[in-house]
Amino acid sequence: MKMRLDFVTNSSSSSFVCFGVSKEEIDMGNEAYLGLFNEYVEDYKGKSWFAFTDEELENLTDEEKVDFVNDELDSNDIFNSDIISIGGQEHDEVGISPTTFISQFPDEKIKDIKKITARELNKKFGTSFKEKDISYFESGWND
């Protein structure tokens, strides 16, 4: 049997790296909430635990859809997508990780990551971020 005497990484350590904004900077209007509701329906309709029947979906008002997103969806459902991620130790940074940028935008230059991050956040949340508003976040922690 071999005994390890040098440094061993902790399997419960985590890290998060992204270009983005603090979650509290995202001030969404009703249009963004309706878009998030539609994403929820598109992603989960047909699952046994889905919250609505077809008839209920047809009769929901926009206000009820906004309330559902605010009250029922947790922040991972709201903020995560194929491109946008939420992370950090307290789940309060929202943006695009470098690996996601490379895989989702293979023809783009890395120097444009802030511009593209602003564009994608604006598309998803109906915000008006500019390239200068995007920060680099890096966090790591041990449990």
Q: How confident is the model at residue 72 (pLDDT cuts 50, 70, 90)?
A: confident
pLDDT at 141: 64
Evaluate the CA torsion angle 18, 23, 27, 30 in order and state its sign. positive
Answer yes or no: is pLDDT of 4 > 50.
no
Residues 6+ apart with CB under 8 A from 29: 126
The predicted pLDDT at position 130 comes to: 97
Between residues 70 and 77, the one the model is more confident about: 70
Q: Which residues contact 26 (CB under 8 A, 6 or more apart)?
A: 94, 121, 125, 127
How many other CB atoms sit within 10 Å of the CB of residue 86?
20
73 vs 10, more confident:
73
Residue 56, token pair as written in the block:
């209920």
Tens digit of pLDDT for each residue in 95-127?
Answer: 999 999 999 999 999 999 999 999 999 998 889
Written as six digits, the tokens of 64 are 């009820």
Predicted confidence (pLDDT) per residue in 17-61, tens digit: 889 999 889 887 788 889 889 988 988 899 888 889 999 999 999
Q: Residue 19 and residue 113: Cα distance in Å, rounded? A: 7
Alpha-helical runs (H) found in 45-132? 54-59, 62-72, 75-79, 98-104, 113-125
Backbone angles phi, psi at 64, to 5 degrees: -65, -35
Residue closest to 26 by CA, chosen among 95, 76, 108, 88? 95
